[in-house]
C-alpha cells in the first residue's frame, strides 16, 4: 500500500518532536529546537508548564468527561471567568477553532432569524482569511487552495478586501447578517486590521443592525498583548470565536457572545458531545490562572516590542532577503522577498529555530507568551545566522 496510515494531508517535515521543555522542543534523537511556532500560537505557556500540567493531571484523575446532559460546575466556572474578563455575556465551548467559528456563524444567522429577519443570512468575509477547515469555515474564505474540490460549499458568504472599508460597506444589502473578520489575519500573512477598518465595520453594524463577528482564534488569548486583540481597537464585538491558546495545548475552543447576539441560541439549537468537558475546563482555568496574573500581558508587550525592534534592526543587514516586520505583540510576521516556506525549512533544519510560513511570503513568529529576553536574543541570533548563509532560489 502506498497510502500512509496517517492520511497524508500535511507536508510533514523531518522534525519529530517527542518532548517539550519550556520554549524548546526535543526530537527523537535529542535534537533541540527553539520553538517560536508554539504549535501555531497554541502553546502560550510553553511546553510542560507545571501549573497547566498539574491541573490536567489532577482533573484527569478526578473526572474527564461527562455529558452536557448534566450540570457543569466546571463549565459554568470557566464561562463566568471569561465573561468577567471580556465583552461577552455567554460562552459556548467547542473542541477546536473551526467549531468555534461554526458556532459563531450559527449564532449570527440565528440572531436575525429570532428577530424575524431570516433573509439576513449572509456574512461578509475577507480575502486571505482563514477560519478553519470545516465546510462552513472554508465557505467563509475565498482562498481557492482550501476550497477546490469541496463544492458545493455553504451559501451565505460574500468576500470583500481586507482593510478596504469602502469595499466592505458597498456589499451591505437586505440579506447581510454581519461581518466575519480576523483583527489580525494569521494564516493570511500577519495582516493587521487598521483601526479605521475595524471601527468602521463596527459603526456600519450599529447603523444597519448587523453583527460584528471576530475570529480571534489565532490573535486572541494574550497573543497581541491583551486578552483579546479587539481590546486594542476600542471596538466591542457581538460574537468572537476563540481557540488555539485558550487551553495552552489542550483541545478547546469557545464562541463568546453578547446576550443580544446570542438571543437565538436557545435549547436544542446547538451542541457538542465533548465541548466543555471537565478536563478541557481545567486546562482553560489553568491558562487563565497564569494569564490573568499581574505582569503577564506586560511581558507579552515588552517581549513583542523587543522582538520587533530587534527584527527591524536586523533587516537592513539582509535587505536582499527581508522586506518588513508586521504584527502586534507576539504575533509577528517577517515578510520575505522570496518563498517563506523555504526559509522556514532552512531555519528549522540548519539552525534549530521553529517558525511558521504564512501567506504573502511571510514568516510567522509566534513564540510562547512566557518567553524572556534571553529567548528573544537566541531567536535573533539564529535568524541572523540563518540569513547570513541563506541563498534564495533563483526562481523564488
Ligand X SMILES: *Cc1c(COP(=O)(O)O)cnc(C)c1O
Q: Which residues bind ligand X (CB under 6 A)?
A: 96-98, 101, 130-132, 182, 186-187, 215, 217-218, 243-244
Q: Which residues contact 139 (CB under 8 A, 6 or more apart)?
A: 147, 153, 154, 155, 156, 157
Structural contact between residues 136 and 147, judged by C-beta atoms closer than 8 angstroms = no
Q: Is 89 annotated as a binding residue?
A: no
Nearer to ligand X, 284 or 352 (CB): 284
Catalytic status, residue 289:
no
Whether the CB-CB separation of 73 and 277 falls below 8 Å is answered with no
Shortest Å distance, C-beta 61 to ligand X: 27
215 is known to lie in a ligand binding site: yes
Catalytic residue among 35, 179, 215, 297: 215
Identify whether 244 is a catalytic site residue.
Answer: yes
255 bridge partner residues: 92, 241
Catalytic residue among 87, 92, 106, 244: 244
Measuring CA to CA, which residue among 216, 70, 45 is closest to residue 132?
216
d(CA 102, CA 108): 10
For residue 318, the minimal CB distance to ligand X (Å) is: 28
147 is in an annotated binding site: no
CB 204 within 8 A of CB 169: yes
Check the annotation: does 272 bind a ligand. Answer: yes
- Residue tagged active-site, from 130, 197, 322, 343: 130
CB closer to ligand X out of 249 and 352: 249
Whether 273 has a binding-site annotation, put simply, is yes
In the complex, the smallest distance separating the C-beta of residue 182 from ligand X, rounded to whole angstroms, is 5
How crowded is the C-beta side of 9, counted as CA atoms within 13 Å?
4
In the complex, least distance from residue 26 CB atom to ligand X, rounded to whole angstroms:
24
Cα–Cα distance measured from residue 330 to residue 186, given in angstroms and rounded to the nearest whole number: 12
Nearer to ligand X, 274 or 318 (CB): 274
> Does 197 qualify as catalytic in the annotation?
no
Distance between CA 105 and CA 111 in Å, rounded? Answer: 10
Cβ proximity to ligand X: between 114 and 154 the closer is: 154
Residue whose grid cell is 467563509 = 140
Reading the block at residue 157, the C-alpha cell is: 458568504
Are residues 133 and 143 in contact, defined by beta-carbon separation less than 8 angstroms? no
State in angstroms the smallest separation of the CB of 246 from ligand X.
Answer: 10
Catalytic residues, by residue number, are 130, 215, 244
Show binding-site residues for N(2)-acetyl-L-ornithine.
133, 272
Binding-site residue set: 97-98, 130, 133, 215-218, 272-273
Binding residues for pyridoxal 5'-phosphate: 97-98, 130, 215-218, 273
Amino acid at each position: 500500500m502506498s497510502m500512509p496510515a496517517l492520511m497524508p494531508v500535511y507536508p510533514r517535515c523531518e522534525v519529530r518532536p517527542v518532548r517539550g521543555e519550556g520554549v524548546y522542543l526535543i526530537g527523537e534523537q535529542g535534537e533541540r529546537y527553539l520553538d517560536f511556532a508554539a504549535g501555531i500560537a497554541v502553546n502560550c505557556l510553553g511546553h510542560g508548564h507545571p501549573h497547566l500540567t498539574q491541573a490536567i493531571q489532577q482533573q484527569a484523575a478526578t473526572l474527564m468527561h461527562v455529558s452536557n446532559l448534566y450540570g457543569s460546575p466546571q463549565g459554568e466556572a470557566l464561562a463566568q471567568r471569561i465573561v468577567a474578563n471580556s465583552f461577552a455575556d455567554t460562552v459556548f465551548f467547542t473542541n477546536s477553532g473551526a467549531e468555534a467559528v461554526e458556532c459563531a456563524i450559527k449564532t449570527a444567522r440565528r440572531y436575525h432569524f429570532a428577530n424575524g429577519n431570516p433573509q439576513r443570512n449572509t456574512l461578509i468575509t475577507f480575502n486571505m482569511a482563514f477560519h478553519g477547515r470545516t465546510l462552513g469555515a472554508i465557505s467563509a474564505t475565498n482562498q481557492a487552495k482550501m476550497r477546490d474540490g469541496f463544492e458545493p460549499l455553504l451559501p451565505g458568504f460574500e468576500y470583500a478586501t481586507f482593510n478596504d472599508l469602502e469595499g466592505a460597506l458597498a456589499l451591505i444589502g437586505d440579506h447581510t447578517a454581519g461581518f466575519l473578520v480576523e483583527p489580525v489575519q494569521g494564516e493570511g500573512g500577519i495582516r493587521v486590521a487598521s483601526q479605521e477598518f475595524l471601527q468602521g465595520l463596527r459603526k456600519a453594524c450599529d447603523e444597519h443592525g448587523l453583527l460584528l463577528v471576530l475570529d480571534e482564534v489565532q490573535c486572541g488569548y494574550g497573543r497581541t498583548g491583551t486578552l483579546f486583540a479587539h481590546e486594542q481597537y476600542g471596538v466591542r464585538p457581538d460574537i468572537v470565536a476563540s481557540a488555539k491558546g485558550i487551553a495552552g495545548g489542550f483541545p478547546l475552543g469557545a464562541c463568546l457572545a453578547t446576550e443580544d447576539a446570542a438571543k437565538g441560541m436557545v435549547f436544542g439549537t446547538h451542541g457538542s458531545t465533548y465541548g466543555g468537558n471537565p478536563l478541557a475546563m481545567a486546562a482553560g482555568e489553568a491558562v487563565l490562572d497564569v494569564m490573568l496574573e499581574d505582569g503577564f500581558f506586560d511581558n507579552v508587550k515588552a517581549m513583542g516590542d523587543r522582538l520587533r525592534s530587534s527584527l527591524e534592526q536586523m533587516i537592513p543587514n539582509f535587505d536582499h532577503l527581508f522586506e518588513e516586520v508586521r504584527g502586534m505583540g507576539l504575533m509577528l510576521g517577517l515578510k520575505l522577498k522570496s518563498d517563506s516556506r523555504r526559509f522556514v525549512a532552512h531555519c528549522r533544519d540548519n539552525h534549530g529555530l521553529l517558525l511558521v510560513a504564512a501567506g504573502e511570503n511571510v514568516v510567522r513568529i509566534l513564540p510562547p507568551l512566557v518567553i524572556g529576553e534571553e529567548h528573544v536574543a537566541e531567536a535573533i541570533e539564529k535568524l541572523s545566522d540563518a540569513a547570513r548563509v541563506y541563498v534564495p532560489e533563483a526562481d523564488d
